[in-house]
Chain A
Amino acid sequence: MLLIECPWCGPRDEQEFGYGGEAHIARPAKSAALDDAAWADYLFHRTNPKGLHFERWWHARGCRRWFNVARDTVSHEILAVYRIGEARPDIADGDR
């Protein structure tokens, strides 16, 4: 069980949160002009790394805010929590 620090509410049990997949995936500006491969890449293809992963979480059973988490997918260690709209923190996979 993870203890996730909501940027507003502070540390809360993982059960209060929903997982929202990989973060920082921008919708293509001219989506109508994309071919099928590029559209599928945007919709479905994710990095799925072993190690550092930037991802979105939702405090579903608390303040209902979305935010970003930097998490190690091997150890589950949470390395950073930051609000939607804030820049991706400067963390590299080899920092730990």
Chain B
Amino acid sequence: MVETVLRQSPLSTCHPEVGALAEIGEAGAALRERPYRTKVNLRGDAADKAFLKAVAGATGIELPLEPNRTAVIERQFGPVATLWLGPNEWLFTGAPDQAAALVEALDGALIGRHAAVNDLSGSRTTIELSGPRHLDLLAKGCALDLDLAAFPVGACAQTHIARALVILHRTAEDRVEIHVARSFAEYLWLWLLDAGAEYGVVTLAGAP
């Protein structure tokens, strides 16, 4: 885990906390970074009932087995979302600084099993895109059908936006979370601002 006093979000220069717009108002779309959020990757055999049971026992999380779907549970520090990334791969996302406890719980429950747990919190940052025109904006760089009927609340997908690899997660009807590698974060942020200019895109102060 990175020392919190040293860490710096890859978008820390892109959304100054001072002077950032407070709300979306009349804008068609809004960008907000959600820095430092916990991201823990889990690999294991979905066909192994004992593996699923061990994960549920240690974390209370029933792993989603349907492709491109998420499961959300409430915790004291906020919701933890589990994203299906592949038939043997999941990503847990949640409030910052929860990775160590989650990894420890999973490690303990999965001893001796064919499974892998990795804290990837520092590998990606999260951009939240919202607003009435956010799908028009995304359509400029993403070929996936993100209409609510095809990509409902709780859906997730690994795909690319303007050539940058991302994990998309629809957290509400009017917003998606974009998990992007930190080396691509600034590029994608600037691309979203450029593509969103015609919709009056605004940036909101970052908040975990």
- Residues on A lying within 8 angstroms of B by beta carbon are 8-13, 15-16, 61-65
Q: How many pairs of A and B residues are in contact by the CB < 8 Å rule?
A: 37
Cross-chain contact B165 with A63 (CB below 8 angstroms) = no
Q: How many residues of B contact A (CB 8 A)?
A: 14
- Is the Cβ of B165 less than 8 Å from the Cβ of A8? no
The answer to whether B86 and A10 have CB atoms under 8 Å apart is no
Kindly state the separation between the CA atoms of A55 and B164 in the bound complex, as whole angstroms.
Answer: 27
CB pair A61–B67 under 8 Å, yes or no, is no
Which residues of chain A are within 8 angstroms of B67 by Cβ–Cβ distance? 8-10, 63
Chain A's nearest CB lies how many Å from the CB of B165?
6
Which one of B86, B143, B145, B160 lies within 8 Å of A63 (CB-CB)?
B86
Tell whether, in the assembled complex, residue B86 and residue A13 are in contact, meaning their CB atoms are under 8 Å apart.
no
A10, A61, A64, A65: the one within 8 Å of B160 (CB): A61
Q: B165: which A residues are within 8 A, CB to CB?
A: 61
Residue of A nearest to B87 (CB): A8
Kindly report which residue of chain A lies nearest to residue B66, judged by CB atoms: A8
Closest 3 CB pairs of A and B: A13-B143, A63-B86, A8-B67
Q: Contacts A62-B157, A63-B85, A63-B158 given; indicate if A9 touches B68 (C-beta within 8 A).
A: yes
Known interface pairs A9-B157, A63-B86; 11 further A-B residue pairs with C-beta atoms within 8 A, sorted by A's residue number:
A8-B67, A9-B68, A10-B67, A12-B143, A13-B143, A15-B160, A62-B157, A62-B158, A62-B159, A63-B85, A65-B87
CB-based nearest A residue for B166 = A61
Contact between chains at B160 and A12 (CB < 8 Å): no
